[in-house]
Chain A
């Protein structure tokens, strides 16, 4: 009887501790929704032929719903804010536990970052990942000097100060969640035209770091090992500047490894992007109209050049996507 009591007390204690961790962790549901994108994937049907990985330049610029409607392509964007290349690798590795796409599209913008940028961005990518070897790898690879691993295991260590800042969201989404994206695409309908950009700074070194090449090699290898075609892209963002020296290195890498590479910044006119209308933050990301143009353009490239199935002709998949399209169209009204 004494043991049962002790065990019951321990269970109650653990439950309270878990509950406190859940309550104090940010929910990313109505504010900083970028933090909820990585976990939304777990609730999806895993039937995608194309998986995007990369930073905000993928989740803001490529709409899988448009790609499906235009070409019948089933795609999912596993992007997150400031997703660093080692994070992209682990997210890809994790994705391959669930499904084997035909194509992985990697946005090369993160090749410029050879070290963690900030804890805040790390949290947006990592906090809501399911526990796995990949999550452990990402944490270890991404932590800044001020962070410690335990705070990812027990969020209360990091977020205890939120105790007096809890909002309605923290209680409303304590046990439930919602989808903030459409197959990983985050809708933004605002318009903020490009007027001026800061002067292009000279850099002391334009060469991508070895660690970035190492992870690009790993992404390439894991794709090859799984018979997946890797496609490299550079989204058509005007800022931060994509230097010619960066471009040359990616072109050289793609050529050496026989990987297709598309720099959409060179195709802005052909795509029809008008940076006085099609961006929500003065040239960093495309808004809904811009992303729609971009997605139509890229969907055609994918359909014309890769052996993708038109799933609009598959009743079962089409039914799923028609429902998604209805939700999407409601959201973009």
Chain B
């Protein structure tokens, strides 16, 4: 009798833990599945920055050698966790990277002046009308920020007094 009860209790415990673990794992897997499909979409369409004939893709692996000597370099750690956001400043743009496993990848590209322009030909100091004429698909507008999204990538334009004052490419990943 005692043995039967003990076996019964063990089965119940195992079942409950199993259900809990299954529920949680299932949730994670759903997220993973979504992530996978987004990655596939990202490969199909995403924004890229062209500079002097060189294409710089968000999410691509970053190689310091490939870009040459930067003008400035900084590391910004998080408050408590390991890992740092590294920022490389070049003459006309700035790249921020993140660590993905053992690979350093490009998270943002921030244009520093009017010498750099987007693939569609928009640069800092251009007018809002220029922006609207070159990016015809509707942006998301939040305050004075115009965000255009393709897959997991975005270009964010900040417009002040009808003039573009900031352009940043952003990879939308955790």
Chain A residues near B (Cβ < 8 Å): 5, 9, 12-13, 16-17, 20, 32, 34-35, 55-56, 81-82, 120-121, 124, 146, 151, 154, 156-158, 160-161, 195-199, 201-205, 239, 281-282, 284
Residues in B neighbouring A55, C-beta threshold 8 A: 79
A81 lies within 8 A of B80 (CB): yes
Nearest CB in chain B to that of A195: its residue = B74
Q: Report B19-34 CB contacts with A as 1/0, cut-off 8 Å.
A: 0110111000001000
Q: Is B40 an interface residue (CB 8 A)?
A: no
Residues in B neighbouring A154, C-beta threshold 8 A: 20
Given contacts A157-B20, A196-B89, A199-B112, contact A9 B77 (CB under 8 A): no
- Cα A273 to Cα B72 in complex, Å, equals 23
Given contacts A5-B5, A199-B110, contact A32 B80 (CB under 8 A): yes
Nearest CB in chain B to that of A157: its residue = B24
Which residues of B from 16 to 65 have beta carbons under 8 Å from A? 16-17, 20-21, 23-25, 31
Residues in A neighbouring B161, C-beta threshold 8 A: none
A82 lies within 8 A of B79 (CB): yes
Contact of A121 among B79, B87, B94, B110 (CB under 8 A): B79
Q: Most chain-B Cβ atoms within 10 A of its Cβ — which of A34, A55, A124, A198?
A: A198
Q: Report B89-102 CB contacts with A as 1/0, cut-off 8 Å.
A: 10000101000000
B80 lies within 8 A of A204 (CB): no
Q: List 6 A-B contacts (CB under 8 A).
A: A5-B5, A55-B79, A151-B24, A201-B168, A204-B158, A284-B79
- Cα A203 to Cα B77 in complex, Å, equals 21
Given contacts A157-B20, A201-B168, A204-B145, contact A13 B80 (CB under 8 A): no
- Cα A81 to Cα B23 in complex, Å, equals 30
A32 lies within 8 A of B24 (CB): no
B9 lies within 8 A of A146 (CB): no
B77 lies within 8 A of A284 (CB): yes
A282 lies within 8 A of B94 (CB): no
B9 lies within 8 A of A196 (CB): no
A198 lies within 8 A of B74 (CB): yes
A199 lies within 8 A of B79 (CB): no
- Cα A157 to Cα B20 in complex, Å, equals 6
Given contacts A13-B12, A198-B87, contact A282 B17 (CB under 8 A): no
- Cα A160 to Cα B24 in complex, Å, equals 8
A88 CB to closest chain B CB (Å) equals 15
B76 lies within 8 A of A284 (CB): yes
B80 lies within 8 A of A56 (CB): yes
A40 CB to closest chain B CB (Å) equals 15
B5 lies within 8 A of A201 (CB): no
Q: Most chain-B Cβ atoms within 10 A of its Cβ — which of A34, A35, A160?
A: A160
Q: Is B144 an interface residue (CB 8 A)?
A: yes
Residues in B neighbouring A202, C-beta threshold 8 A: 158, 165-166
Which residues of B from 117 to 174 have beta carbons under 8 Å from A? 142-145, 156, 158, 165-166, 168
Residues in B neighbouring A124, C-beta threshold 8 A: 80
Contact of A9 among B5, B81, B89, B158 (CB under 8 A): B5
- Cα A16 to Cα B20 in complex, Å, equals 15
Residues in A neighbouring B75, C-beta threshold 8 A: 282
Residues in B neighbouring A199, C-beta threshold 8 A: 87, 89, 94, 110, 112
Q: Most chain-A Cβ atoms within 10 A of its Cβ — which of B13, B96, B142?
A: B13
A158 lies within 8 A of B24 (CB): yes
B32 CB to closest chain A CB (Å) equals 12
- Cα A228 to Cα B157 in complex, Å, equals 45
Given contacts A124-B80, A197-B74, A199-B112, contact A204 B31 (CB under 8 A): no
Given contacts A13-B13, A160-B20, A198-B96, contact A204 B77 (CB under 8 A): no
